[in-house]
Amino acid sequence: MKVATSTIPIVFSGIGDPVGTGLVDSLRRPGGNLTGLANLNTQLVGKRLELLKETVPGLTRLAVIWNPTNPGKLPEWQAAQAQSGQLGIELLSMEARTDDEPGPFWTA
């Protein structure tokens, strides 16, 4: 939609990283004709891992189910990897994709 028009206001909702995906220039001043609500999952993933580690003190490995074909999920995965090392948690990537593009657990 961003490419289709620069005059009609567009409101988005539930975007993980609107700056990283190029929808807006910044969260403070989006610019252009797009605005909306962001999940800010990239900024929160570290805190979520900290809370999980406090809840499960012996946690050393964690499987993360995510869709690598979703452009908003890669920054979240990278943020989780960065924080997990500081917490002593090994992350295991469990890629979940669409039915048309099965992941390793759905191959025949």
What's the pLDDT tens digit per position in 5-22?
A: 888 898 988 777 788 788
| Axis-axis angle for helices 73-87, 41-55 (nearest 10) | 40
Ordered DSSP codes for 37-57: EE--HHHHHHHHHHHHHHHST
Claim to verify: residue 12 and residue 48 sit in the same structural domain: no
Domain limits for position 51: 42-95
Claim to verify: residue 71 and residue 34 sit in the same structural domain: no
Q: Residue 67 domain-assigned? A: yes
CB 41 within 8 A of CB 49: no
Claim to verify: residue 50 and residue 74 sit in the same structural domain: yes
What does the longest C-alpha to C-alpha distance in the chain come to? 53
Is residue 49 scored above 50 in pLDDT? yes
How many domains, in total, are found in the chain? 2
Q: Residue 105 domain-assigned? A: no
Claim to verify: residue 53 and residue 16 sit in the same structural domain: no
Claim to verify: residue 34 and residue 47 sit in the same structural domain: no
Instruction: List the structure tokens of 107.
Output: 């191959």
Determine the Cα–Cα distance for residues 24 and 72; give it in Å rounded to an integer. Answer: 14
Claim to verify: residue 57 and residue 69 sit in the same structural domain: yes
Is residue 72 scored above 60 in pLDDT? yes
Q: What is the pLDDT of residue 87?
A: 94
Q: What is the pLDDT of residue 107?
A: 43
Determine the Cα–Cα distance for residues 27 and 17; give it in Å rounded to an integer. Answer: 9
CA 43 to chain centre: 9
